[in-house]
Structure 1
């Protein structure tokens, strides 16, 4: 699970602040003295990231995909959060031995949310799994175990702990306009983009060539990053999402 050690209270927000939906896990969890139950949950770093950037955060647990268009119609922006590996059947492959168990309910729900957001022009920010889902939605594929390709495990050296590495945005892209020429990011992933989806542009790379960001063409705000910006104190991406959501309103 992603955790943010720099938890801070939200900044003050204006009346009518944009409503940003954030997708959640669907998993078993333990809390309190004895509760051990199926749960829809989200690391607090995600809603705090939205709140500190001027938005109002609402959690979007897996639901009937047929409801996605209605849900998106009530939102001003969407964050596709990190989490479990996508089902490789979505891009025509068998599971790698190191692939995690798929959560089909979440996959179907988030693909429907993304499709509805793109159709309705609602700004989207994909984080880690969320970026991978954007690629698969566009017909792309994933490297199911990145160390097989790059020959090291620096993107995810220790389960449950973020590490850092350098990312360089591609000049002339939205990603480059929002971020410095090079930045150290919080990373925790063992999968990555293989074949880029139709119409997408790779807009940042790690030093080993791994695709670290992608975006859709045109003026819409639809951007995915492989790293975890919510785990650091840099609000650039969430602030850009909130601005795009506010301008759409």
Structure 2
């Protein structure tokens, strides 16, 4: 709105650690990198908000955990978006990796859990994307399927690396949910799918808002209490504007930003 200062939306950092297979080892790749993926930043910028990445403190950081208080970010910013990225570490939900490739990112888990706690404590809204949905479920007491093809072999394919964000399937939007309300009772939509992990046990604090009708995989959740927390398993930032064949996530963004605006007011 005219005359209003723009909302300041924080993003959890994606973390690259030197030694990642397939990455050239010279130059900047020899350093730990914290980064914000362009598409997700543009998604929020398209809603008129300002996108700001919140750095993490890792084992090789110059500063220490006591030098960085994430609550200062929660106080200064109006909302938080959890980016997609590496797997949630099985240790974070009391399991051990079933395969070395599924060890996840324990450092990022702990950083994001602390970050979410700071924003929720400050009464600020939190929106999770893909890994973000899984992290929120784990943080609030749920568990994950470490690999859908291995542990649920009859499930449909939820990831196709050759097509990446151009891999789609339908979701069923559950009636009576906030998501259904936002979309006028829409029963089914087509979304992108880029994940091999999924919710196993739903956290007690959450309600399911969408599922994959083919196998029941949870595709969207929302906190059932006073905290404003919503998350989707797909990537809204990859929706092509004006594409009528796939789900238009603009109302999801508008709802999140409206919550941030109301809290700021």
Structure-2-length-normalised TM-score:
0.82
1:227 pairs with 2:216:
no
Secondary structure of 1:73's partner? helix
C-alpha separation in 2, matches of 1:188 and 1:34: 30
Change (3 A) 1:78 1:36: same
Question: What 5-or-longer segments of structure 1 have no aligned partner?
Answer: 1-11
Instruction: Kindly provide the CA deviation profile for residues 130-170 of structure 1, in whole angstroms up to 9, marking residues without a partner as x.
Output: 00011001110000011221524521022671211111121
Cross-structure match for 1:156: 159
Structure number, greater radius of gyration: 2
After the TM superposition, which of the residue ranges 194-203 and 101-110 deviates more from structure 2? 101-110
Structure-1-length-normalised TM-score:
0.87
2:177 aligned residue (164, 169, 173):
173
1:217 aligned residue (220, 224, 232):
224
More strand by share: 1
1:139 pairs with 2:141:
yes
Cross-structure match for 1:23: 12
Contact 1:123 1:221 in 2 (8 A): yes
Cross-structure match for 1:41: 35
C-alpha separation in 1, matches of 2:230 and 2:119: 12
1:68 aligned residue (67, 70, 79):
70
Secondary structure of 1:215's partner? strand
The structure with higher relative contact order (CA 8 Å, sep 6+) is 1
Matched residue count:
237
1:205 pairs with 2:189:
no
* Deviating 4+ runs (over 6 angstroms): none
Cross-structure match for 1:6: none
Question: What 5-or-longer segments of structure 2 have no aligned partner?
Answer: 58-64, 242-247
Deviation at 1:42, TM superposition (A): 2.2
